[in-house]
Structure 1
Amino acid sequence: MKTIKFRAKTKNGEWIYNLAPLVPFSVFDLTEIDRDTLTQFTGLHDCHGEEIYEGDFLKINLSEGYKIRLVCYNEDVMGFCLAHLEDWNDPFLYNLYQFSFSWWERFKNDIEVIGNRYDNQAIFEAYAK
């Protein structure tokens, strides 16, 4: 069974994890969190066992070097995808890669969370063109 949970930053900049989707939001005052940072757990873990959430930057180590990707939720495919940052600002080239289970099994030991788009804007700026 897939674990469905969320994380968000509080107004004072601290991350809160394990926000349950079925708990009425009145239990946790949404005015205390930055709603723009509310992201869902993908159900996957990186090579160090760290949970991977929407909005995380992943470093994918390949034989020819590495790629940096951003985990996004794509409504068109109703699933998590990896955004190619090098094409981010070109609407004709920008693409998302919806990874398959077989792809994940092949590369899961080579994937590492290196930050997220909310705390590590410098990663985005360094790779997005």
Structure 2
Amino acid sequence: MTLHRVATYRNYCRAAAVAFGLYTAYPVVVKIAEDRLAHDWAHSALHLLSALFAAYAGWLAATELPAKLFTWGIGALYGVLGIVGWFIDGLFLTTHLAIPLGPPDNVFHLVIAVPAVVVSAASAK
């Protein structure tokens, strides 16, 4: 794998870490203010964990493998969530692990997934 491909995966992870961090911080503040965090904590926790892993893969990992795995995983999983979310209200909605999927979530999932797919496809050549 060339240095350019490694840098691309790592750069995606760095941008994703910032995006996930911002998309976690703002909704958590709003949910706390509206007393809704207890109903959507799992969704926020998943985004926070994604931000932390992206930061690790983008800046701290000794090899490019975590960045590559994260990029491919986000492209696949969030791409599916971004599409499926338009047709369902969420996942595990009747449990304490509810993950609602509203329009802002679906847009975010697609906005984070499409560049991951592009980076993965471009780097696979």
TM-score (norm: length of structure 1): 0.23
Could you tell me the TM-score, scaled by structure 2's length? 0.23
The one of the two structures with greater contact order (alpha-carbon pairs below 8 A, sep at least 6) is 2
Hey, which of these two has a bigger chunk of strand by percent?
1
